[in-house]
Structures are given as C-alpha cells and as structure tokens.
Copies of this chain bind each other. A is one copy, B any other.
Amino acid sequence: MLLATAWMLPAVAGADGIVDNVNGLTLDKDGKVVRFQALLVTPDGHVAKLLGAKDKRPDKLDWRVDFKGKTLLPGMIDAHGHVMELGFRALELDLSETKSLAEAQAKIAEYARANPDKAWIIGGGWNQEAWGLGRFPTAAELDAAVGDRPVWLARADGHASWGNSAALKAAGVTAKSVSPAGGRIEKGAGGQPAGVFVDAAQSLVAKVVPQPLGKDRNAAFVKAQTILLSYGVTATADMGTSIEDWLTYRRIGDLGGLRVRIMSYGMGVDTTVQIGGTGPTPWLYADKLKLVGVKLYADGALGSRGAWLKAPYADAPGQSGAGFMTDTVLRNLMSRAAMDGYQVAVHAIGDRANAEVLDAIDEMAQTYKGDRRWRVEHAQIVDPVDLPRFGKYGTIASMQPTHETGDRVMAEARLGPQRLTGAYAWASMLKNGSKLAFGSDYPVERPDPWAGWAASFTRQGADGQPFGGWRPEEAVTREQGWWGFTGGAAYAGFAEDRIGRLAPGMQADFIIVDRDPLLASPTDLRATKVQETWVGGYKVWERK
C-alpha cells in the first residue's frame, strides 16, 4: 500500500481543465504536423479540443496549468519492449556499460561483496562484442570474480546467459549434458560446459534460479514504469507477457497504480490463451492494460548467432542459426492464436526467419480475413527479394532504430557486406506499403525514444558515426520517425483510436520537454529531457 500511494502524484484532472500556453506539437492521423497553443481536457482525461493562440478559452474551467511556452508533445509509445525485464534489470547487477571483461569481473566482484545476503548473483547486460573479446566469456572467468555462490548473467540481447561453476553445479550441467532443441551449450575442452548457454539452452540453468517473490515483481514493475515515464514513454507493447507478469500488472492495476499503458502480447500461445480465454481482453483500468495478442519466436538473435540465415554466417561459416520451431509448428501456433482473434507478433531477425514468417503470413491470410495486423518483430535482416512482401496484408514491421546504430558493426561482421541491402530497411518498409512501428526492445537497448527517433532519420549513432549515416537510403523522415514512436506504434497495437496523437476524443497522454524536437539537431534531439509526463489527464511523473 505504501507503493500505491507513492505513485499517486497530485492530480489536477477529474474536472474540465486546460493546459495552456504551450508550444504544442502533434501529428494528425495522416502523419502531418499540427501546432496548437492549448489543450482542453475532459473530466475523464481525454482531449476535448486543441486551441490556437487566437482561440477563445472557455469561461468555466475547474483547473488550468500554464506551461509558459514550453513544448508539449503526445506521449511516446514503444512498440517493442519487455516491461518486467526492464524493471528487474534495473534492480539487478547491470553490466551494460562495461567496456572489457576485466571491468565486468571487477564490477561483479564488487556487487557480490555489496550484497552478501543474495543467494544468487543475478544480472545481465554483458556483450562480448562491446568488450572486444571476440569470443564468449567462460565459467572460469566468472569464478575468478565470484566463487562462493552461483552467478547467472544474461547477455545484453537476452539470447544467451553466462554462469559460473557454482551455477552450473546447482543446475547439474556437466560434460554429458546435451544441447536442447533451439539452444546450444557452449563447450570447452573435453566437452565441459564452457559457461555460456545460448537461447533455449539457457533454461538448463535458469530453471534452478530462485524465482522472484511477489514483492520483487511489484517492485520491478514500479521501477520499470518510472523509467519509462522518465523518458516520456506513456504506452508500450510488452512483448512476451508471462502469467506472473500479467498477474503483476493486475495487482498493480487493482491498487490503482498503472500509469504506463500496456499493450500485452502473451509469451506463446498457451500463456495467451490461458489469460485471454476466448480472445483479447477488453481495455482494462481506463485503457491502461489490454491483452492484445501473442508473441512467438521464429529465431534467435544476431549477436549470439541464433538468427536464422539463408546462408551461413560470414564469421562462422559452419553456422546458419536455426529456427525456433518447424514451419508447421509456427503455422499451427499462429493459426491457434488467430482463430480466437489474437493479434500475432513473430520475432524474426535473420533473412531465413523473415522469409519463413512471411510465408506463414501468406498462408494465414487466406483463412483469417479482416484487420489482422500481422506483426514481424525486428524484421532485421531481410533478403531484398522478400522486402516487397511486407507490404501485403497490412503487415507491420516492428523495428528498433537503435538496434541499427548499436549493432551495425557486429551485423557487418556476421553477414559480410553482401547481405546488408535489406538490413534495418526502414525506408524500404514504408516504400513497400508496410506499416512501420518503432520501439527500443528495452532492456536490450535503453527505452529511450529520443535516441531512436534521432537514429531513424540520421542512421547515425550518438557519436555521429558513420559520417552521412549507415546506408542512409534507409533513413525515414523526421516526421516518419516520430510517427513510428507515436501513431505507428499505437496502430501496431490496435490502439490508434485512443493513443498516439493529440486530437479530440484521444486520451490526454502528453509530455512536456525542454526543446522543440522538430527544430533540434539530431544531437540535441538525443539530449531531450522530459520535464513532465501526463497520462489520461493526470500528471504521473515530473523531473525533480
């Protein structure tokens, strides 16, 4: 109950009100910029009207906020994130800023010393590429940091995890252990497990990691929500909601504590059907939570060479990655979900995986008519011959601009120069008639829509590299990039009738920022500071 009240910032809505004297900016439903100076808000937190400088203000208002000319934008929407993981990651050991194995080892040892009561050291964010290691780290290297208890650390992309000897022992993993379907135990001398477990093999150890308690889950959720609001994110897709995640959202919702709107995609068909029963839920808690569809996986990630390619990896000639399931199983799962009206979102990174998902969508679309909005999550490496296929059946390309800027060097190594024509091909997606939705894939990347927006029209990282942008022909316009993080992301979650832009009847979800993002240089845009975040006509976060 302490938590419940802590989130409750003073509300000024609940009555007719006005947010006045703002540099108001939004896109309209056609993606065109609309400017306004004031926003009328209804008692139930919706937008009543946008007003210009010369428009008369109503005489009777219950409340008024004067922002003295500051910039007001619709809340940002992240079309692909992992809410609970964001919270857990933020409360756990975080290696995402480490630049070398040695630095990571020191940080791990320090964290263990500072947390003597933790039976397991849990964390993540490591990336052997960022360390310049050129190979996975080993259990022995982790033992050197912490030997007295199990350590289990997820790779930045979540597609691999690294354990020390105590963790492997607790899990009973030995030289005799066999890699499960869809996963790989990295092996060392004599077939001994080397310490890293890729994709499905992670469960061999993960299953013995102590589960978080309800209070841990609540705390992780609250943490995640605060982080999202601090970036101006007022709605997000949750890509792979577990039963525990869902029950956590309900608990917080029951206490009146949901602030960020969650478009939930159940983790697999069984979970989705268990939650939804007969189909998607209605919008719950005044449009704060809805089970929209199902998240499926066609393959793994590029960094861990789990992405499924048409031809072998350039830097590992014997490997092409692998599909997470057979073609038939994928279609059966998509069909089972579509049958009950769940939206289907399939993770596909490699060109082979993308082709398989497009094949499956072709087949599904023959049976499941109407407005289905098939989603391909990431759509990262696409064979150019497959690009036009994204335009069929209103398929949504749910992409993450910061994956391009973060992964381009690694992607070049994995694929070689010949296979990058259809990589992170945002402009091609639009040109081919696909619907584009942008997200961050947090916590894989920071849930920072400003970095994503800047990357979307520059194809450059925070360092301004590469000069002129990487494959700049795939940049979108500044407005298209914004739409990807607002109206496009709302459309991708069947929520465009209530969020994604400011217009009469829409939820009054808006943010006050310290600069005009349409005038800012890319570097300035990345530095945008959100000052206040409002959801449904209530101020739910402000910068202290």
Please judge, given known A-B contacts A250-B250, A254-B284, whether A278 and B243 are in contact too, CB under 8 Å: no
Check if A391 is an interface residue, CB within 8 A of chain B: no
Check if A118 is an interface residue, CB within 8 A of chain B: no
The interface centre, meaning the residue of A255, A273, A274, A340 with most chain B CB atoms within 10 A of its CB, is A274
- Rounded to whole angstroms, the CA-CA distance of A274 and B214 in the bound complex is 7
Question: Which B residues touch A250, using CB under 8 A?
Answer: 250
Closest beta carbon of chain B to A402's beta carbon, Å? 32
A241-258 residues at the B interface, CB under 8 angstroms: 243-244, 247-248, 250-251, 254-255
Check if A171 is an interface residue, CB within 8 A of chain B: no
Known interface pairs A214-B277, A250-B250, A251-B277; 18 further A-B residue pairs with C-beta atoms within 8 A, sorted by A's residue number: A213-B273, A213-B277, A214-B273, A214-B274, A214-B278, A214-B340, A215-B277, A215-B278, A218-B277, A218-B278, A243-B243, A244-B274, A247-B275, A247-B277, A251-B278, A251-B281, A254-B281, A254-B282
A337-381 residues at the B interface, CB under 8 angstroms: 340
- Rounded to whole angstroms, the CA-CA distance of A340 and B213 in the bound complex is 11
- Rounded to whole angstroms, the CA-CA distance of A217 and B214 in the bound complex is 26
Residues on A facing B (Cβ under 8 Å): 213-215, 217-218, 243-244, 247-248, 250-251, 254-255, 273-278, 281-282, 284, 340
Question: Which B residues touch A244, using CB under 8 A?
Answer: 274
- Count of chain copies: 2
Q: Is the CB of A214 within 8 A of B276?
A: yes
Question: Which B residues touch A215, using CB under 8 A?
Answer: 277-278
Question: Which B residues touch A251, using CB under 8 A?
Answer: 276-278, 281
Closest beta carbon of chain B to A20's beta carbon, Å? 35
Closest beta carbon of chain B to A287's beta carbon, Å? 13
- Rounded to whole angstroms, the CA-CA distance of A502 and B427 in the bound complex is 67
Task: Name the CB-closest residue of B to A251.
Answer: B277
Task: Name the CB-closest residue of B to A248.
Answer: B277
Closest beta carbon of chain B to A384's beta carbon, Å? 42
- Rounded to whole angstroms, the CA-CA distance of A425 and B248 in the bound complex is 42
22 residue pairs of the A-B complex, CB under 8 angstroms, read: A213-B273, A213-B277, A214-B273, A214-B274, A214-B276, A214-B277, A214-B340, A215-B277, A215-B278, A217-B277, A218-B277, A243-B243, A247-B274, A247-B275, A248-B277, A250-B250, A251-B276, A251-B277, A251-B281, A254-B281, A254-B282, A255-B282
